[in-house]
Amino acid sequence: MSEIIQLHDKKFIKYIPSQEIDKAVSEVAEQLNRDYCSDPPLILVTLNGAIVFAADLLKQLQFSSVLSCIKLSSYKGTHATDTMKTLIGLNEDVSGKRVLIIEDIVDTGKTYQTLVDLLNEKGAKEIRIATLTLKPDAYNLDLPVHYVGIRIPNKFVVGRGLDYDGLGRNLNDIYQLVN
């Protein structure tokens, strides 16, 4: 595949190769196996983006766990908006349970904060997050980000679950927007 791709009206250049992503996923899985082997959490996957990271991660987990999904959206095109929409709600009882949120990306943290508020309201005992990518320069919350695959600059990226208006999730590598 070419180093530069086009999705809709934007061009992206290969930024993180799949081998580096696979290594990061394995490192996160090792941490999760260590931290959750004796008391597995309910795993809450954020759709649609985290589905690829979750699939890669789940294959490497050495504990059994209930899996659920939730779908929130705050993006329009390449920018986060101030409006958080719940497209598919939480269907599991989290009261008194440990919950591990699986995310594809944490940038501003708005989705993460929304989920923490919801899970706290529903009585979760503990809430942690594992994310494939984190944009430290964009993240401005006091909530800890417990498990991070790869830290990236505050640039728009696609691939490995991340998209631009629905396209690019299936790319095995991560691509960065060309300015």
| Catalytic positions | 107
The single-letter code of the amino acid at 97 is: K
Instruction: With beta carbons less than 8 A apart as the criterion, state whether 63 and 111 touch.
Output: no
CA distance 173 to 75: 21
* Ordered strands of the 79-88 beta sheet: 79-88, 67-76, 42-47, 98-106, 126-134, 147-151
Q: Which has the closest alpha carbon to 100: 129, 123, 74, 120?
A: 129
Q: What are the beta bridge partners of residue 12?
A: 5, 177
